[in-house]
Amino acid sequence: MRSFLFVPADSERKLAKGPSSGPDGLILDLEDSVATDRKPIARGMALAYLRAANRAGPKLYVRVNALDTGLTLGDLAMVMQGKPDGIVFPKCVGQRDLDLLATYLDALEAREGIVQGSTRILTIATESAAAVLALTAAPARHARLMGHSWGGEDLMADLGALAKGPAPGVYDDTFRFARTVNLMASVAAGVTAYDTVYPDIRNIEGLRAEARDARRMGYGGKIAIHPDQVAIIHEVFTPSAQEVDWAQRVIATFESNPGSGVLTLDGKMLDKPHLVLARRLVARAG
C-alpha cells in the first residue's frame, strides 16, 4: 500500500468523496480532525460507513483517539462492529502501547466473530519525545503491525518547537532524526514505513519533492490529508517501468547464475544487496 488518505469521520461529504481519489487506504479519523463534542457522533458515522462501504475499494482503517484521552477503548468497541481492515494508532509509545492495543483487538475480534489477528495496525510512532526514544531503544514489533508512520505536528508541540524547520519539507535535525528512526524501526520490524502528512495542500511540487525524498530514503508510502495529494503520492511511490525492468533483469541474472555471489549487468557490478533491492521493487510494483 502506497497511500492512506485521512477523512474526518464526522463529515458525511468527505466520507462520501474519500474513495474517489483512489487511495490504497482510507483512514476514518476520530482523533485530531474531530472536535471533542462531536466525537460520539463521529464514532457512529464511522461504524455506519464501515457497514455500508464497498469493500472492493480502498482498505478501511480507523484512527482512534490516543490512550491518554480515555477514549480509545470506547472507539474500538464501537468501530470493531464494522470490521475495519485496520486501526491507526496515534501517539503510540513503543512496544508497551502496541501490545495493549493488540490485546484490545484480540478481545473485540472474538466478540465480533472476526478472524483472530486479521485487524492490522498502523502506528503513528513519533508524536512525542518519549515515543521517539522508545522506538530508538527497541523497534516495536507485532504480528498485527503493517507499518509505522512518523508524526511531526504533535512532536513539535511536545518539544515546544516553533516550527519543524525553516521551510515546508525542510526539517531541523530533531525532525530528521524522528523521520530516520521511524524508517529504521519499520525496517527492523519488517513492515512498511509511511512518511508523514504534507500540510501545505496547495503546494503540489513541495509534496512531490518531499515524497521523492522519502522514497529515496527507503519509505514505502505516504499519508495524505487532501484527495488531490493521492495521485502525486502514487506517482512517486509506484516503481517506474524502467525500475521494474532493471529489477527483473537483476533477479533473472542471479537465477541464471545460482552459484555466483558477484555478477555484472549493463557493465556494472551486482552483489546480493542489489538482489534484495530488486525483489523489493518487484514486490512494490505488484
Give residue-wise pLDDT tens across range 76-125: 999 999 999 999 999 999 999 999 999 999 999 999 999 999 999 999 99
CA nearest to 230, candidates 222, 239, 218: 222
State mean pLDDT over 132-148: 96
List, in order of start, the domains of the chain with CATH numbers.
3-237 (3.20.20.60), 241-285 (no CATH)
* Amino acid, single-letter form, for residue 188: A
Alpha-carbon torsion 72, 73, 74, 76, what sign?
A: positive
Backbone torsion region of residue 267, taken as left when φ is above 0, otherwise alpha when ψ lies between -120 and 50, otherwise beta: left
State mean pLDDT over 190-195: 96
- Residue ranges with strand state E in 104-240: 120-124, 145-149, 192-195, 221-224
How many Å apart are CA 212 and CA 179, to the nearest integer?
A: 14
Residue 233 grid coordinates: 503520492
Backbone torsion region of residue 117, taken as left when φ is above 0, otherwise alpha when ψ lies between -120 and 50, otherwise beta: left
CB 98 within 8 Å of CB 89: yes
Alpha-carbon torsion 22, 27, 30, 34, what sign?
A: negative
CA nearest to 234, candidates 58, 84, 104: 58
What confidence tens digit (pLDDT) does each residue in 153-165 have? 999 999 999 999 9
CB 189 within 8 Å of CB 141: yes
* Residues 6+ positions from 136 with CB-CB distance below 8 Å: 181, 185
How many Å apart are CA 232 and CA 224, to the nearest integer?
A: 10
CA nearest to 14, candidates 38, 42, 39: 42
What confidence tens digit (pLDDT) does each residue in 24-54 have? 999 999 999 999 999 999 999 999 999 999 8
- pLDDT above 90 (res 4): yes
